Structure 1
Amino acid sequence: MGCGQLKQDSKQLEDKNFKSNVPISTQVSMGMTVIQKTEAIDTDYILHKLDPLATLRSYIRKGISKTQSQARIIRTYNCSNASVERKQQLQETINLLLSLKHLNIQSTSAYYYCDCRLSLIGEFIDGGNLLTQLDKFSQLQQYQQIEIFCQIMAGVQYLHDNGVMHGDIRLEHILFTNRNLEKIKLIDFGIPNSIKSEFSSWKPKNTMQELSFKSPDTIKGQSTFKSDIYSCGCLLYFIITSHMPFQANNYQSLKSCILRGVPNFDSTECTNMNPQMKQLLSKMLDANPQRRPSAQEVLNHPVLNNRNRIMYKPNKQLYKHMKEFKISSQIQAAMLMYIAENMMSEQDKKRLMDEFQKYDLNKDGQLTKDELLKVYSETLPPERALKEVNTIFKRIDVNGSGKIDYQEFIIATIDQKKYFNREKLLLLFTQIDRDHSGELSRQEIKKLLRDMQIPNNKYEQLVKQLDQDGDGAITQDEFLKMMLQI
C-alpha cells in the first residue's frame, strides 16, 4: 500500500516541479514551448572560477556584471543534445525559479540561452556554507543554532508551498548571507540531479556525508516532500547532539542503518534532551514518510514556536509607504523590483530586510494579517489597527495569497522618491545603452523587459509605448517620459 502511494506522489511531484503559473516568455515551435534565445552570457558578465571550497562543480561560476559591477552566481548547462520536450521542461523550470522570492532561498534573477548553453543568474552569497563554517557555528548558543534551523524550515515551507521539493538538503546547500552567521539561504533546488548530470560534467559522488541526510524513501527512489522533512530532521538532530542519527563505518552499513529506520536516542547527548524536542525529531525521522509532519507543522511545533519574540514598533516611514502604496501597472511593479535588486544600496537592502523580520513574528518569511495586527496594535487602538492592516493588505497583497511575501514588501516599502526618480532612471538608461549611442535599440529595450520578467506577449506593446515616434530607437526623453508615467 505505502509503496504504490509513494510512487504516485513522486511522479506527481516531478510533474509539479516543472509547472508554473507565471507568464512564460517563450517562443513556440511546432506547438511546443522552447527556450527563448538571448545574447551570450559574456556580453554582460565577466566569468570567474569559484574557490574549490565554495563548490567543486565546474558548471557553477562567479559572474561580475559589466554595467553594475555586482557579483552573481552563474550556473551553465550544455543543452546541445536536449530534445524539444526537455527544452520545454527547462523553460518551465526557468519560469518557476524566476518566480520564487523568499528571504531564506537563493533567488534566480535572469537567464541566458545562446548556442545551446543555458546560464541561470542567481544571487551571490558569500558567507560560506554550513559545512565550511561548522567550527564557528558549533560555538554559537543553542538558541542561535535553533534560529538558523527555523530559517531553513521557513525556506523549505516556502518551496513546498510553491510545489518545489528541494531533494538534497545538507550542510553544503545551506549558505550564510554574511560571516556573522545570522541569516541563511537554501541553494541548489528546483533542478533535479538527473538534469544536472545530463547537461553538465557533474555526477553525484554518493559520499557517506551526503548519504547521512537521505531518507529511506529517497534511497529507494521514492522521494516526496516528506523526504525533505527527514533531511531537516537529520540536520536538527545534528545541531542538538553534534552527531548524525545514523552512523556506520562504511557506505553500505550506513545505508542499511538508514533503511532499518531506528534513529539512535540512547547517546549521552539525548539523555538530557527536551522531551518535546525528542518527540519532534522522532516524527521527522519516522521511516514512514506519511507519518512525518509538514514543514509548517515543524515550524509551529511548541518546542520551536515558543521561542522568545520581541515586539518592535513599526517604522513610521515604512508604515507610511505601505499605507500609501499604489500600483498602477505590471511594468511599474517589475521596474520597482528590478531597481530594488540591481540598484538599491546594501545598507538599504539590509534595513528593509531587518524591518520585514520585525513584522514576521513566526519567522516563516511571509507576513499574515494577524502578525501585522499584533505589531500595529502596540501603537494603535484595536479598531484603527485592524482598519490600517486591512488597507495595507488590500494594497500590497497583489496576488491575493492572504500573505505578504518579501518581494511584495520590498515593492511596497522601497523609497520611490530615492530610487524611482529621474536621476536613477538616467543611470538605468546609461546601463542599458551599451554602445553609448544616447538611444536604446529595440534589442536593448527588449533585454531590459526580459530581465524585468515581462511576458513575451507584452514585449511589442511596451516597446511601441516607449518608441513614441516609431523610428525604431528609444531616446532618453522617450524613456524617461514613459517610465515616470507608469
Structure 2
Amino acid sequence: MGCAAAKSEKQLSKQNSPVGLKKMSISNVSLMQETDKIETDFIFHALDPLVTRRNYIKKAVSKSNNATRIVKIFNCLNLGSTEKLELERIVNHLLQIKHLNLIRILSYYYNDNKLFLVSEFSEGGNLLSRLDHFSQLQQYNMIDVFCQIMAGVQYLHNQGIAHGNIQLESIVFKEKNMENVKLLDYGIPNSFKQICLQWKPNGSIQEISFKSPEALRQSGLTSAKSDIWSCGCLLYFFLTSHMPFQSRDVQTLKTAILRGIVNYEGSEWSHINPDMKLLISKMLSSNPQARPTAAEIINHPIFVNRARILTKPNKQLSKNMKDFKQQSQMQNAMLNYIAENMLQEQDKKKLMEEFQKFDLNKDGLLTKEELLKVYITMYSSEQANQEVETIFSKVDQNHSGRIDYQEFVLATIDQKKYFNREKLLMLFQQIDRDHSGQLSKLEVKKLLRDMQIPKEKLDQLSQQLDQDGDGQITQEEFLQIMLSIA
C-alpha cells in the first residue's frame, strides 16, 4: 500500500458495505490476533499474467500437502482500529461462505499489519482467458454455466452480500473441462480494496460493459439489483456472442448503458425462446426495482428441471446419507478439514457427480422436492417420502430446509476410509511442522483455526485435545483422542 490515505471510519463503514450484511457489536469482537507467518506453511510462486496482473494476488503451494492455493494480500497499515474490527467481521463471515459455485476462503494469516486470505485455486482459468474454448461449447452448456453463476449469486444475496464486480474475469472454472463454475472476488467492499490493495477499477471496455446504469452514475456502488444487471449482460452474451451495449469508445459505451435501450433485432434472436428474451429484458431494466431477484431467475420455468436424471444415484452413498449420524463439533470440523485437504481426486469427482444428480435446478442446494423426484425413480412413493424425510432430519444440520454441498459431503463421505488411524497419522504429520513427534499449543491452535472452529470454542477444544495439560500432544495421544471422538 504505502501512499493510500485512510478514509474516516464513519465514511468507510457506509461506503460499499455488503448489502444487508448483519452488523456485529464492536464490543464483542477483538482486534485481529497475530498468527504465524504464511511462509511457514506456503511457498509463493509466480502467477500466469493471463490469470491476473494484480500484484497483491499470489499463487502459493502448501509445504505439507502440495495443495495449490491463491493468496490475496491486504496491507492494513493505514486502517484504524474500528476499520480493522470491521474487516475482521467481514473475513469471519467470508470464512463461513460454503457453496459449490463460489471460490472458498479457506484460512487467513495476519502479521506485520498484513492480512493474507487463502482461497481455492481453480486450474481451469477465468472465463476471459478461456473465451475461445468457451465459444465452442454447445448453447445448453453455456446455459448450464450461467445457471451455476446465478446459483452462486443467489447464495451471496441470501447471505446479504452483493458481488459488485461480476464480469468475465470474476468467473473461473474449477477444472480445465469447464464444467464446474465458480465466482471469485466477492465480499470485500471496494473501500477496503482501495485502502489495503491500492485497488481501482481498470476502466476497460470489458469491465464497463457489465456495469449497471446506477453503478455508472454512482461510482463504486454495489447492490444486489446491480448484480442482476451484470448477469443479464452475461446471459445476453452467452446467447448471442456479443454484449447488449457495444462501443470501441468508453464514453460512448457509458452513454449507451445509461440510455438502457437493448437491441433485440439481430437474426440470432429468431432462434431464441421468447421467454428467454423477456427474462433478459427484465434483468436489463433501467429501473433496478423492476429486475427479478436471483432466486426468481434460477427458478424461472425456462431453467427449472432442464437437467435429466441420466443414471441412478449411487446406492452406497445414498445409504451413507440415510445412516448419517450427527457427530461432535470437533469431528465434523475434522471431517471438513480432511475432505478439503486429503480427499482423493476420484472421490471428489464421484461426490460432485452424485450431488449433481439430485441438484435438478443447479442452484447448489438440495431441497426435499428435488430428492423426492430422484428417489421416486428408485422406490415406491411411500418409501421415497420416508427416505427423504429421514435424510433431511439427519443431514440438514442448520435446519435451513436445504442441504448444501458441504453437508452432503459430510453425510456421504466414506468415514471409514478417511477417518481412520492411517489418515489421522498423515494429518498429524502435516500439522507437526517441526517434525518433533509432538504438537505444541501453537500447532494445535493453528489446526483449530484452519478447521474454522469459532473463537469461543477454541480453548474448550484445545483442552479436549491436551487432556493432561502439559501443553504437548504426542502422536499416540492425538490418534487416541480423535478416534475416540469418532
Same fold (TM over 0.5): yes
Amino acid at match of 2:400: S
Q: Indicate the residue corresponding to 1:340 in structure 2.
A: 339
Structure 2 residue 236 is matched with structure 1 residue 234? no
Structure 2 residue 43 is matched with structure 1 residue 46? yes
Q: CA deviation at 1:223?
A: 3.4
Q: Indicate the residue corresponding to 2:315 in structure 1.
A: 316
Partners in 2 of 1:485 and 1:13 — Cα distance? 47
Q: CA deviation at 1:230?
A: 0.5
Partners in 1 of 2:299 and 2:310 — Cα distance? 19
Indicate how the Cα distance of structure 1 residues 83 and 406 shifts in structure 2: closer, same or farther if over 3 A, else same: same
Deviation digits for residues 143-181 of structure 1, max 9, x if unmatched?
111111111111111111111111111111111112222
**TM-score between the two structures when normalised by the length of structure 2:** 0.93
Partners in 2 of 1:32 and 1:333 — Cα distance? 25
The answer to whether the 8 Å contact 1:19/1:93 transfers is no
Q: CA deviation at 1:402?
A: 0.3
Q: Which residue of 202, 206, 228 maps to 1:205?
A: 202
Any gaps of 5 or more consecutive residues in structure 2? 1-12
Deviation digits for residues 247-271 of structure 1, max 9, x if unmatched?
2231111111111111111223234
Amino acid at match of 2:185: D
Q: Indicate the residue corresponding to 1:356 in structure 2.
A: 355
Moved more, 301-310 or 43-52: 301-310
The answer to whether the 8 Å contact 1:367/1:403 transfers is yes
Task: Using the aligned pairs only, state the percent identity.
Answer: 58
Q: Indicate the residue corresponding to 2:72 in structure 1.
A: 75
1:385-424 alignment runs, 5 A limit: 385-424=384-423
Q: CA deviation at 1:220?
A: 2.0
Amino acid at match of 1:397: D
Partners in 2 of 1:393 and 1:233 — Cα distance? 34
Structure 2 residue 107 is matched with structure 1 residue 110? yes
Q: Indicate the residue corresponding to 1:141 in structure 2.
A: 138
3-state DSSP of counterpart to 2:239: helix
Amino acid at match of 2:182: K
**TM-score between the two structures when normalised by the length of structure 1:** 0.93
Q: CA deviation at 1:352?
A: 0.4
Q: Indicate the residue corresponding to 1:384 in structure 2.
A: 383
Amino acid at match of 2:262: P
Amino acid at match of 2:186: F
Q: Indicate the residue corresponding to 1:14 in structure 2.
A: 17
Deviation digits for residues 61-99 of structure 1, max 9, x if unmatched?
001000111100000111011111111111111111111
Q: CA deviation at 1:385?
A: 1.3
Any gaps of 5 or more consecutive residues in structure 1? 1-9
Q: CA deviation at 1:306?
A: 5.4
Partners in 1 of 2:463 and 2:145 — Cα distance? 48
The answer to whether the 8 Å contact 2:90/2:187 transfers is yes
The answer to whether the 8 Å contact 2:18/2:162 transfers is no
Partners in 2 of 1:389 and 1:307 — Cα distance? 22
Q: Indicate the residue corresponding to 1:449 in structure 2.
A: 448
Q: Indicate the residue corresponding to 2:168 in structure 1.
A: 171
Q: CA deviation at 1:47?
A: 0.7
Q: Indicate the residue corresponding to 2:128 in structure 1.
A: 131
Partners in 2 of 1:92 and 1:465 — Cα distance? 27
3-state DSSP of counterpart to 2:91: helix
The answer to whether the 8 Å contact 1:32/1:84 transfers is no
Q: What is the number of residues matched between the two proteins?
A: 471
Indicate how the Cα distance of structure 1 residues 423 and 31 shifts in structure 2: closer, same or farther if over 3 A, else same: closer
The answer to whether the 8 Å contact 1:13/1:163 transfers is no
Q: CA deviation at 1:317?
A: 0.9
Aligned-residue RMSD, C-alpha = 1.9
Structure 2 residue 59 is matched with structure 1 residue 62? yes
The answer to whether the 8 Å contact 1:159/1:165 transfers is yes
Indicate how the Cα distance of structure 1 residues 64 and 359 shifts in structure 2: closer, same or farther if over 3 A, else same: same
1:324-335 alignment runs, 5 A limit: 324-335=323-334
